[in-house]
């Protein structure tokens, strides 16, 4: 099967995989496409299987990434996703090889990606990247790890930024998010309604610039959920699952 690169010239007519077939996220997909388009002048690449499938890689220079890491002259992978019947067919390796070739041609020193210590929704698993010769070079509570593949031994070692120690002081639910994921944008109002129905304060903070995201208090800037200042999860969840979580947090479950 062949691959296609989504560019500013074809993004209006090409699908971007993420919320494929999910009608309720149509407006969020529009926002995601705008976010992607704005990043393409900064070196972002969206490369996918030329099928109606969730098989793609999205990456950009780490200096431009909307994530609080320090990784000068590295390529940062926003997302590598192979789902359903397409798993275990070598697509993930092919996508990763494409990213590596591109990074080397740009004169970069390596690739960096955030993974999970164990299987987590919306996070890559560390064991695949370790199998692909990545090394785990840094950790951030409660389960984030920084995986790095470098081919220049003299290159700096990437790390999470220190400001992550800054507390979130809001009471109730506070969510930090970007337009990078249609699921995050699309579900927020439903989550707000659940919180309001439970009498819980709900604040959603959209990170609208690279600088805001790089200095955010949360590792996973796509979606970070806090309760009374404590990080709870990066998982973008359904209203039903969120209500169960909220009941547990407020002591009703």
Same domain? For 115 and 150 the reply is yes
| Tens-level pLDDT at each residue, the chain (253 residues) | 799 999 999 999 999 987 666 667 788 889 999 999 999 999 999 999 999 999 999 999 999 999 999 999 999 999 999 998 999 899 999 999 999 999 999 999 999 999 999 888 889 999 999 999 999 999 998 999 999 999 999 999 999 997 555 567 789 999 999 999 988 888 999 999 999 999 999 999 999 999 999 999 899 999 999 999 999 999 999 999 999 999 999 986 5
The verdict on 98 and 50 lying in the same domain is: yes
Q: For residues 26 and 15, what is the distance between their CA atoms, to the nearest angstrom?
A: 11
Residue 154 contacts residue 147 (beta carbons within 8 Å): no
Domain that holds residue 30: 3-160
155 and 210 within one domain: no
Is 49 found in the same domain as 94?
yes
Burial of 65 (0-12, 13-18, 19+ CB in 10 A): buried
Structural domain count of the chain: 2
Pairing of strands 69-70, 124-125: unpaired
Quick check: 192 and 202 in contact, CB under 8 A? yes
- Choosing from 160, 184, 216, the residue where a domain stops is 160
Statement to judge: residues 32 and 85 lie in one domain: yes
In this prediction the pTM is 0.94
Residues 222 and 234: beta-carbon distance below 8 Å: yes
Which of 126, 160, 194 lies at the terminal end of a domain, its last residue?
160
Q: For position 76, what pLDDT does the model report? A: 98
Exposed e or buried b per residue across 144-178, where buried means at least 16 C-beta atoms within 10 angstroms of its C-beta: bbbbbbbeeeebeebbbeeebeeebeeebbbbbbb
Q: Which residue has the tokens 């077939």?
A: 21
Instruction: Report the pLDDT value the prediction gives residue 17, as an integer from 0 to 100.
Output: 83
User: Residues 170, 125: one domain?
Assistant: no
Check which CATH number belongs to the domain holding 101 and give it: 3.40.630.30
222 and 138 housed in the same domain: no
Q: Are residues 130 and 72 in the same domain?
A: yes
Q: Do residue 37 and residue 113 come from a single domain?
A: yes
Cβ 37 vs Cβ 11: under 8 Å = yes
Q: What is the pLDDT of residue 100?
A: 98
HSE value, Cβ hemisphere, 13 Å, CA-based, for 38? 14
Residues 249, 124, 152: CA angle, nearest 5 degrees:
130
Query: Are both 155 and 196 inside the same structural domain?
Result: no
Same structural domain, 168 and 155? no
Same domain for 132 and 184, yes or no, is no
Of the three residues 111, 130, 160, the one that is the final residue of a domain is: 160
């Amino acid at each position: 099967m062949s691959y296609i690169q989504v560019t500013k010239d074809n993004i209006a007519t090409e699908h971007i995989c993420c919320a494929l077939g999910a009608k309720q996220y149509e407006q969020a997909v529009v926002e995601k496409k705008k976010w992607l388009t704005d990043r393409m002048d900064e070196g972002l690449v969206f490369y996918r299987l030329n099928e109606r499938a969730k098989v793609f890689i999205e990456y950009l220079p780490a200096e431009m990434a909307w994530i609080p890491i320090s990784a000068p002259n590295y390529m940062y992978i926003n997302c590598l996703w192979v789902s359903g019947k397409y798993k275990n067919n070598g697509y993930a390796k092919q996508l990763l090889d494409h990213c590596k070739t591109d990074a080397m041609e740009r004169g970069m020193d390596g690739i960096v990606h955030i993974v999970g210590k164990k299987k987590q929704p919306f996070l890559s698993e560390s064991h695949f990247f370790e199998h692909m010769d990545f090394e785990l070079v840094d950790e951030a509570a409660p389960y984030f790890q920084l995986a790095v593949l470098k081919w220049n031994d003299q290159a700096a070692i990437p790390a999470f930024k220190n400001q992550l120690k800054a507390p979130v002081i809001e009471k109730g639910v506070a969510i930090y998010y970007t337009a990078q994921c249609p699921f995050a944008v699309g579900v927020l109002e439903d989550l707000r309604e659940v919180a309001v129905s439970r009498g819980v304060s709900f604040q959603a903070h959209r990170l609208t610039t690279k600088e805001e995201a790089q200095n955010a208090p949360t590792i996973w800037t796509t979606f970070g959920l806090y309760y009374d200042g404590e990080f709870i999860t990066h998982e973008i969840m359904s209203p039903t699952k969120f209500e169960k979580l909220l009941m547990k947090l407020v002591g009703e479950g």
